[in-house]
Amino acid sequence: MSFQWLLAPPLRRTRERPEEQEQELEDETGGRELAKTRCADKSRWKNRAGRNCKWFAANDNGCTKYKDYGQRTNCKKTCNKCPQVYRQNSNSNPWHTAVYKYMPSAADLAKCAKRADGSMNGCNGGNLGAVWDNNLRTLSRNVWVMGEKCMPYDMKCKKASGVVNPLSGGQCSKYASYQKWHKPCNCISSQDKTNRFSCPRYRPSGGCGFDVPYAFFQVNGVNQGLSIANAVKNFQRQIAEAGPLYISFATTNGFMKNDWKKYPIYTGGGTADGGHAVTVVGWGKGASGGWSHDYWLLRNSWGADWADKGYCKFKRGVNLDGIEGAAGASMATSTFKDWSPPYCSYNGYSSSYYSDASMYKLFLKITCSKNAKLKIFTSQKLSGGKASAQRQVARGVSGRNLNLNVKANSKTTTTAIDAKNLGFGKRQGEMWIKIVADDGKGNTANTDHYITVPTVTR
């Protein structure tokens, strides 16, 4: 019933890399080297006391007894430091059973969701309105899905001085058989990273896309005036009835450095470092640090090595770091329970006039996301540009009202608006348009638009 971003198989690579075959190893700087040798102890190495790898093999197999005198670097086989290379179809790879059929690519949504001015949102403050109103609502193609051969999440690895989720040296070899964008960023070579992103203009190929959801909307929380308790109940109702939500919170250095084994439920701390968005898949109650806490169960995008296999528990019911402020939900079928208001947009106007401005009529073009009854207010002529017009509206303005019935996603033209009686014609000015939309099911929404009405052409 819900439009859930479900995990499930990246396309498998056809070549497997057994541990003793040629291995691709990468260090923490992203550098790449091909090692054609088996992991073994160095036969010529000795420490200052003259002890070699054979001595450590006989006296400290595993290298846990003595201080590191160099044996852990030079006696890798003896010290059990040989890198493990997991095969793509092995249970050691947490993604080997993943199917991305219904998991949208962040590289599609983030690159194609626009701000009001048409520029790309990317990962710099994207929001539900931009994803839906400025992208999905009018999208004429399928949504791209994740996967190496479809549209992988390449935005996590921008070229920069830092990297996302860095690993210490030597750990990249365990990801050698992973698909490229499943690896941590510092295990991906620099030539595969970019700082140039743009919305794809081509359509998803077969098997790489799915239909645009029927709806994508905000689930109200504290930011919309609900109490914390009611916000929690609202989120829980949505999860129970329609599946996971998309939620954001302020990230603190306490969250980033939390010891998840010792404190399995994050309860706050530290100073804010930024913000982050995750999927909330459920809730529960458990112990952490000797205390019992209600928590949200969150699914993160930082890999299976993070927290509890990529999931974490986050304290619930106190709006910790703003997590109960608001959430997003998406629906794949038309049978969902619809509490969303109609969204109506202004799509331009046509005009009719006499050259002496003795008659000047405007016809507005309106499109709404669902069937709705509209009450439209058009203001008298406002002067001084948009900023001045907004100040005048705040003080109160007069104008005219008209009613209009619209069909979902159908451009509808209003009856004639007498612009001359509103002061337009001989001088250019601003018109404030207020649209109140009602779907007849208790869902209403208001939208405001300011348009510049030119003088009559003589």
Written as one letter, the residue type at 452 is T
CA separation for the pair 313, 307 (Å, rounded):
9
Going by C-beta distance under 8 Å and a sequence separation of 6 or more, which residues neighbour residue 457?
Answer: 355
Q: DSSP states of 99-153 as a string?
A: --TT-B-HHHHHHHPBPTTS-B-TTSS--HHHHHHTTGGG--SPEEB-STTS---
3-state SS assignment for residue 188: coil
Give the torsion sign (CA, 368, 370, 371, 373).
negative
Report how far Cα 418 is from the mean position of its chain's Cα atoms: 45
Phi, psi of 246 (to 5 degrees): -110, 125
Closest-CA residue to 353 (of 202, 237, 455): 455
CA separation for the pair 226, 246 (Å, rounded):
18
CB 368, CB 408: distance < 8 Å: yes
Going by C-beta distance under 8 Å and a sequence separation of 6 or more, which residues neighbour residue 387?
Answer: none
First-last CA distance in the chain: 58
3-state SS assignment for residue 237: helix
Closest-CA residue to 95 (of 183, 23, 171, 21): 183
Written as one letter, the residue type at 137 is R
Report the phi/psi class of residue 91: left, alpha or beta, with left for phi > 0 and alpha for psi in -120 to 50.
alpha
Give the torsion sign (CA, 84, 87, 92, 98).
positive
**Tokens for 122?**
């990317």
Q: At 297, which helix (H) or strand (E)?
A: strand 291-299
Active site residues: 276, 300
Determine how many CB atoms are found less than 10 A away from the CB of residue 161: 4
Partners of 449 in the beta sheet? 433
Pairing of strands 311-315, 265-266: parallel
